[in-house]
Chain A
Amino acid sequence: MNNDFSILVNLYGLFVILVFICGLYCIMLTKNLIRILIGIEILAKAVTLMVIVAGYVSNHMAVAQTFVITVIIIEVVLVPVVAGLILGIFQKTDTLDVQKIRNLQG
């Protein structure tokens, strides 16, 4: 790897880790169910970007694109299903605050 290439990869690695920390922090500290789903989406974006950079660096761009499209399909399925779950919870409990939802406490 030449120097410019190495700097580019390290730059992307740094930003991916920063965005990943943002998403993880959002999931851990947010009380709103929709914001938690947004946090999961941000995590998925960071992972997608990392896969693309890895494919570019290792010269396997076609395989990386295949994996990214699979991840996007998973996102497409995940978001409406979880949104449906959130709406179901909202209809039953009239709140999106996870701390106020006590039905699954056991």
Chain B
Amino acid sequence: MTLHIIVLTAFLAFALWAVLARTLIQSTIGLALASASVSIIMFQFDAPWAAVFELSVCTALISVVFVSTISLTNPPPKNEISMLYWDRFKRFAYLPIFLLLGGFLFLTNKIPIDFLAPHIEPEKDFRLVLWNLRHMDLFGQIILLFVGVFGVVVFFKERPKNE
């Protein structure tokens, strides 16, 4: 239980850091660390496949995409960074109130969570479920990947200089 609490607290702290950090690079690092926390939780819950995907794709690949995007845009001037930070910090001043409200509503059972299982014989092997029960998901994933590739090709296409 203690380990669960530590990892969950780390997850929330990294998510908050990603939201409130001064620079975009720090936000990206916060997001990557939050993602790594989620993958640790997945290992704890005996979901190794999902954990490996989360760690390799969300922590690594997506962070690289974010860093590349940030490096291709101009950062604001140094004297503006601190002004923008305080401006954003003021806008996030009400966040603790919403967090307390969400926690209160959950703890007083205003947000019910019911995980009662339907009457289905549970499959134990992730690969069997994916191939036998959810094979249309695989087609969907392949189509999505192609959409992503074409999207990137279109958006990163070099335009003629006279445009």
13-49 of chain A: CB within 8 A of chain B: 13-15, 17-23, 25-26, 29-30, 32, 34-35, 37-39, 41-42, 45, 48-49
A4 nearest in chain B by CB position: B1
CB distance from A70 to the nearest CB of B (A): 5
A68 touches B53 (CB 8 A): yes
Chain A contact residues: over half helix, strand or loop, or mixed?
A: helix
Chain B contact residues: over half helix, strand or loop, or mixed?
A: helix
Count residues of chain B with CB under 8 A from any CB of chain A: 78
A69 touches B50 (CB 8 A): yes
CB distance from A76 to the nearest CB of B (A): 6
B19 touches A22 (CB 8 A): yes
Count residues of chain A with CB under 8 A from any CB of chain B: 69
List, in ascending order, chain B residues with CB within 8 A of A85's CB. Answer: 155
Q: Which of B66, B98, B113, B140 contacts A34 (CB 8 A)?
A: B66
CB distance from B27 to the nearest CB of A (A): 5
How far, in whole Å, are A79 and B70 apart by their CA atoms in the complex? 13
In the complex, A104 has a CB within 8 A of chain B: no
How far, in whole Å, are A90 and B126 apart by their CA atoms in the complex? 42
List, in ascending order, chain B residues with CB within 8 A of A79's CB. Answer: 62, 65-66
A9 touches B113 (CB 8 A): yes
A53 nearest in chain B by CB position: B45
CB distance from A36 to the nearest CB of B (A): 11
In the complex, A57 has a CB within 8 A of chain B: yes
List, in ascending order, chain B residues with CB within 8 A of A60's CB. Answer: 117, 120, 122-123
List, in ascending order, chain A residues with CB within 8 A of B141's CB. Answer: 69-70, 73
Residues of chain B touching chain A, judged by Cβ–Cβ distance below 8 Å, are: 1, 4-5, 8-9, 11-12, 15-16, 18-19, 24, 27-28, 31, 34-35, 38, 41-42, 45-47, 49-50, 53-54, 57-58, 61-62, 65-66, 68-70, 72-74, 88, 91-92, 95, 98-99, 102-103, 106-107, 111, 113, 115-118, 120, 122-126, 128-130, 133-134, 137, 140-141, 144-145, 147-148, 151-152, 154-156
